[in-house]
Structure 1
Amino acid sequence: MVSYKISVKTGDKKGAGTDANVYIILHGKGPQTSKYNLDTFFKNDFEEGSIDDYTVDSEVNIPEVQRIELWRDNYGLLSNWYLDWIEVTNVESGITSIFPAMKWIKADYHYLFNHIDTCLPQDDPFKQKRALELQTIKKDYQLQVKVPGLPAQVKDLPDDESFSFDYKFNIGMKLKTFAVESKKIVMANGLNWKDLADVKTVYMPVFGVPENSEYFNDDADFGRQRLASLNSLLITLCTAIPEKFGVTEEMVKPFLEGKTIEEAMKEKRLFIIDLALLEGCPAKTEDLVITCPFGLFYFNNANHLMPIAIQLFQQKGTDNPVFLPSDPEYTWMMAKMWYNLAEAHYHQALTHLNLTHFMMEGICVATKRNLSPSHPICRLLTPHFMYLIAIDFLGLGTLINPGGIFDKTSNGGINGAFFLMRESMKFWRLDTHGTLPENLKSRGVLDQSVLKDAYHMRDDALILYDAIKTYVQNYVTHYYSVEGSFKADYEIQNWGAEIVKSRDDGGVGILGVPNDGKFETNDQLVVTLTAIIYTCSVAHAAANFQQYDEYAAPFRMPFAMHGVPPKDKNQIEIETILKTIPNRAELLELMSITKVLSEKATQSLGDFEKQLIVDPPAVKIVNEFRQSLRNVGKIIDERNKIRENPYDWLHPTAIPNAISI
């Protein structure tokens, strides 16, 4: 007689628990046990989020259980069941087998879960079952372009993709708490600002003081925003002044430490951001304005990136002057605020939403549709897609819908956001914009001697990118070591084809996938997978978690501004600036949503919520990745000890695995 210990983990999604009877048969390479009813007397088994342990005895000794057969009936009022995983240990041999499930278990359907069932489709002994399962999954994961011109997303939210109950409950409760507190603050203080000190009254304990609110009209801080804040992948080495930018040698001479423009460019100290993409972007109402500016920056001898010229619109003219640090104090400050209004719209519509959330959702759906849950690449990517579809589904209903938070808190509103998203779909490429080294190279800032010791986001992101790429390279090499593997792997070929297929034809429409999605070499797949994992983890973290610290400080990163940008260099008074920033209620609403968006609520990169990789050689690769991330963390800790302004946002412990908020 042999005993088996069986542990069953029920998911923590709402309604995941079941009152149904659950049955299991253990299989070896030949023998199998009898059927067992997993039940504990006087205990309510399979409750939401619980782990239930059972011991069963059998005359059949299977030293290492290879496969389990599992099913449930329809007994009870609450029979639905979401199963995370099952673990089986032969007590005599001491060998444990893990069977990941991560799915809703339907009534009266016999599920077969294989131990270490990770394999390419051509090697699967159960090809027919695998194909049938994939057909079923495709019915739940259908691609749809919900807003014309935007990325393809999932048509309807599949049950398997819903938030855990606790996660969704916490988001909702926080927003309600902030709404109640905001109403109290407005009722007590009114809508309009009395003076500068009055702005600080919104920073009640429930919100906290934003980290960057201490900076006020600080040029060095404005420069740091380009290198270590929400939009750190816009700064470009300046090699020529654009014809439309009215800056002249005489204008910027006082700010170049004795250099000419040509000399500053030759020394790679002059940088530019051209936000021409925003030209023509519609505002929410006729009385609101969105700028489409140029910004010129100089990297000085103190290793500070300093703004030296701002032009708020693309076309030169007497009513569109080039603003300079030598202009009246608040006139220059107003120019920087109107510049940042443009970057705020670029950030929210593109850097944050479209180029992480929505672009990756389409790839996530294509992954679920084309790669079997047993496919090693599906196992690799799934932890980085956790809650992605759910948060996007929630976002379309509350954040970026007509009358939603995005619409109410920005000058551009929903139409402005959609305009920018559509424009980005014309140029964004996975092999350049989505591949960090190529992105940096295209802007002339890959060489770390450029912006030395100041471009913290670049420096930390590069070592993280390398860690992810090495992890992916080792993993792909393990599974595609046999010649002809790519050609025989029809699932990966279908996946690549659907990712690049035009959205008009029902695909995801991603540009710049190596070899147009027809994977023939390890390198082509590695570049693709590295870009996906990097975007879902590092890129999203860089774009997301500083939101409260930036947007809650209205003089630094306004998302809404009243009035019109200055058309001349006349002196502006602080009272005008106070009327230009969002009023108290508008700012509090923006603070509420960015506070929620800035809170990390899932596990750190490499510490996967879903432990789908169970193949021992692959587990070794995962452990090496985790060690690599620990080493990266130590490097960043050492860097921050000597940095004038520490940058913690890309410490591996601060980066979630997935876009889950």
Structure 2
Amino acid sequence: MEEKIHSESNSCDTMGGQSGKLSFNTKDESSSNTYTYKVSIKTGDRPKAGTDANVYIVLHSNGQASRETKLDVFFRNDFERGQLDSFNISKLPFASIDHIELWRDNFGISSDWNIDTISVKNTGTGDEAVFPIFRWIRANYRYNFIPLDTSLPQYDERKEQRQKELEEKKALYELAIPAPGIPSRIKAIPADEEFSFDYLWDLNKKKLVLLATSKVKRIATGAWKTIEDVKSIYTKSVFVPPTDTEKWKDDVKFGNQRLAGVNNTVIRLCTEIPEKFGVTPEMVEPFLEGKSLGDALTGRTIFIIDYDLLEDCPCKEGHVVCAPIALFYRRNDGKLVPTAIQLFQKKADDNPVFLPSDPEYTWVLAKMWFNNADAQYHQAVTHLGYTHLIMEGIVVITHRTLSQSHPLFKLLAPHFIYLIAINTRAVNKLSSKGGILDQVFTVETRGILELISRRRPSWRFDRDGLIPEDFKARGIDDPEVLPRFPARDDSILIYDTIKKYVEKYVDLYYETNEVLLADDEIQNWREEITRSVDNYGLGMQGVPGGDSGKFTTKEQLVTVLTGFISIFSVGHAMANFAQYEEYSHPLNYPSLLRGTPPKDKSTRAESDVVATLPDKESHFSIMITGKILSERGTKPLGDFEVNYVFDPEAVKIVNEFRADLANISEIISKKNKTRDPPYPYLDPAEVPNAISI
């Protein structure tokens, strides 16, 4: 990055017709009580951020003002993309400034201009005022900026400018009315949300690169011959074996997938056996370590997953997806194991209850078909629908309703980076007709969208959007009930730390609940989040505020902010970063199976298991997708790509948050030394700030 410095005195160029609007100090410039200011402007590092336009500035101090100064270095290109330019303005009679005016004309081929920051430093005293801009500067409008640029709307004297900026944002960030049941998404991607990420989602190119770098040979075509043959797909680099490849048949491994896999959002405490589930006490009691089923239920050691949502879900032609019900038992050693699986919802002679005592490969097939159903739900609901898509609406609404000067915009914005871009580019490529989801998931894109819409009516922020409340609602928040649950323990640990951070931040700017009530922007934010989809809102249920339609307490606001930041970071990390580990072994967590599920409990052979697997080419696409999705797209939580917060008191709060996260990282790292297997996905050093992959 090149820094350019140019000196300008008060006698430099001014904009015609403007000087009469300003008050100039006419103090003798030869006086020793004059000061020089170094003005440094960092142009944004994004496409078309640089400008050829003429740029002007005025420095203000307690009613006094400098002359209009044209910022220019002759024969040099100022304000290029990503560049830091500095200019000296000398012989000013005041020792500090309270705001600046900045504007540009539309001269030149490239007149658009995006600024990251401006700093104005008194070279004599060393005092420096920082202006975090992070805006596009439109032509022929005189912007007023105050140091730190942080203000609640009721205290901001720049009301006209603030309103104009919000109107511009509303025109850029519009919600489209989505298909029924699908979370609201942006109508058209703004230029600010673009990024050069297409290369990552050109899977044909990625496939060639990965083949070359991993030295994989002859795995992309043909069918598997034996289970042992699956090992041939792994290499020493790139496509390394999952950590517990050899345990894919193990019941403890299968149980652990509910607690430390990619889909920890479905299992719940079982208090009674559903009528539609054909399991009986006699069937499962041999696996309950001497307990009766009744005692195990009252003792809170029985858990259930019911995939009624998958019943009659659309599928690939010639394929079947189950809608299973499964029972799990927490053993005395704390480990969770399956005790019964019914692959479809209705009792029938051809829909038996499979048990661990069934023939080995019969039981293996029942678990594989269950996991195939689990994978469809994971990708549709847990991952795509209720992290990626539902959070896109929050990004859009925030841009529409909160000024960039609002302290809560600055709190939330680091968690928005690349989300709209990844959704627009990558998700569209994944879910387009003939895309990856069509190729490697049993329910294809249409089934994925169907599952998202089926889940939508029951999804509530105050239950599903708050990590501790989700575990509580499923009866699995108590460590005594499930002592070996790393996804729960680590996620709640980080959630509580995020809440502590948000509480301090909110308290800094809202001294009382009355201040919150008077904040029209944050109240509009809540209104658009809860407004019906037909009226271009998100239609989100369960947002605190109730019948009043407003945030009435700071606690309500803290809850919402904590929930959203947690979904952007922790929630997505739980659903995303174990994907290669889970999906890359075709027997472990199959997203696609061939043939039909077993309809009786007769003995199956290894060849029957191998016959259900997708061909090698399809599985290689699964591996590539899992590999890409498991890569980190942004910096770790708290280490923001863009720092919007410059208020010194707020910076202290951010630094305390980072220190708390570092402490949690040490705690989780220590835990992972004794966990079998380790669960690294929620170590704060591994959790990204945003949903950017």
Gaps of 5+ in 1: none
Answer yes or no: is 1:378 the counterpart of 2:409: yes
Between stretches 503-512 and 639-648, larger displacement belongs to 639-648
Q: Aligned to 2:162, what secondary structure does the other structure show?
A: helix
The yes-or-no answer on 1:398 pairing with 2:422 is no
How do 1:554-573 residues align onto structure 2 when only pairs under 5 Å count? 554-573=586-605
Q: Distance in 1 between matches of 2:102 and 2:610?
A: 65
> Is the Cα–Cα contact under 8 Å of residues 152 and 519 in structure 2 kept in the other structure?
yes
* Superposed CA offset, 1:475-498 (max 9, x none): 112211145213221111111111
**Which amino acid in 1 is paired with 2:377?**
Y
- In structure 2, which of residues 177, 197, 200 is the aligned counterpart of residue 171 of structure 1? 200
CA distance in 2 between partners of 1:594 and 1:189 (Å): 16
Q: Which residue does the alignment assign to 1:477?
A: 507
Deviation for aligned residue 1:660: 1.1
Return closer, same or farther for 1:28/1:609 CA change in 2, 3 Å cut-off.
farther
- Out of 182-191 and 608-617, give the one that drifted further: 182-191
Greater CA drift, 67-76 or 551-560:
67-76
Which whole-Å CA distance do the structure 2 matches of 1:39 and 1:332 have between them?
76
Greater CA deviation, 635-644 or 268-277?
635-644
- In structure 1, the residue matched to 2:280 is 248
- Structure 2 CA distance, aligned partners of 1:118 and 1:143? 27
* Aligned-residue RMSD, C-alpha: 2.2
**Amino acid in structure 1 at the alignment position of 2:416:** F
Q: CA deviation at 1:533?
A: 0.7
Aligned residue for 1:128?
Answer: 160
Amino acid in the other structure paired with 2:189? L
Q: Which residue, out of 156, 180, 189, partners 1:157?
A: 189
User: Take 2:686 and 2:210, find their aligned partners in 1: how far apart are those partners?
Assistant: 28
Cα deviations by residue, 1:327-375 (Å, 9 ceiling, x for unpaired): 1111111111110111111111111111111111112211111111111
Residue 530 of structure 2 is matched in structure 1 by 500
Q: Which residue of 2 aligns with 1:195?
A: 226
> Which residue type is aligned with residue 428 of structure 2?
G
Compared CA separation, residues 157 and 658, structure 1 to 2 (3 A): same
Asked whether 1:491 is paired with 2:537, we answer: no
1:562–1:579 contact (8 Å) kept in structure 2 = yes
Q: How does 1:416-431 map to 2 (within 5 A)?
A: 416-431=447-462
1:415 and 1:214 map into 2 onto residues whose CA distance is: 34
- Once the two structures are TM-superposed, the CA of residue 3 in structure 1 deviates from its matched residue by 3.2
The one-letter code matched in structure 2 to 1:581 is: L
Hey, what does 1:17 align to over in structure 2? 50
**Distance of 2:143 and 2:311 partners within structure 1:** 55
CA contact (8 A) 2:306 2:325 kept: yes
Deviation (angstroms), 1:41: 5.9
Query: Using the alignment, how far apart are the partners of 2:205 and 2:150 within structure 1?
Result: 43
Shift, 1:538, TM fit: 0.5
3-state SS, counterpart of residue 426 of structure 1: helix
In the TM superposition, residue 170 of structure 1 has moved relative to its aligned partner by 5.4
| Residue in structure 2 matched with residue 388 of structure 1 by the alignment | 419
The answer to whether the Cα contact below 8 Å between 1:284 and 1:415 also exists between their aligned partners in 2 is: no
Change (3 A) 1:334 1:47: farther
Give me the TM-score of the superposition, normalised by structure 2: 0.90
For the residue of structure 2 that corresponds to 1:195, the secondary structure is coil
Please list the CA deviations of residues 443-465 of structure 1 after superposition, one character each: whole Å capped at 9, or x if unmatched.
1111122211x101111111111
Q: 1:122 Cα deviation (Å)?
A: 1.1
Q: Percentage identity across aligned positions? A: 48
Cα distance change on mapping 1:18 and 1:198 into 2, 3 Å: farther
Quick check: 1:218 aligned with 2:250? Answer: yes
Q: TM-score, normalization: structure 1?
A: 0.94
Contact 1:400 1:414 in 2 (8 A): yes
Deviation (angstroms), 1:420: 0.7
- Give the counterpart of 1:455 among 478, 485, 505: 485
The one-letter code of the counterpart of 1:346 is Y
CA deviation string 1:146-168 (max 9, x = no partner): 333211111010112222x4xx2
By how many angstroms is 1:180 displaced?
5.4
Distance 1:201 1:62 in 2: 75
18-27 or 493-502, which moves further after superposition? Answer: 18-27
CA contact (8 A) 1:119 1:376 kept: yes
User: What do residues 270-299 of structure 1 show as CA deviations (whole Å, max 9, x unaligned)?
Assistant: 1111111111211122x1111111111111
Q: Judge conservation of contact 2:173–2:396 (CA < 8 Å) in 1.
A: yes
The corresponding residue for 2:29 is: none
Q: Structure 1 CA distance, aligned partners of 2:493 and 2:552? A: 27
What CA distance in whole angstroms lies between the structure 2 residues aligned with 1:439 and 1:146?
Answer: 26
Unaligned runs of 5+ in 2: 1-33
- Confirm whether residue 341 of structure 1 aligns to residue 372 of structure 2: yes
Point out the more displaced range, 133-142 or 173-182. 173-182
User: May I ask how many residue pairs the two structures share in their alignment?
Assistant: 655
Q: Give secondary structure in 2 for the equivalent of 1:296.
A: strand
Give the 3-state SS of the residue equivalent to 1:87 in structure 2.
strand
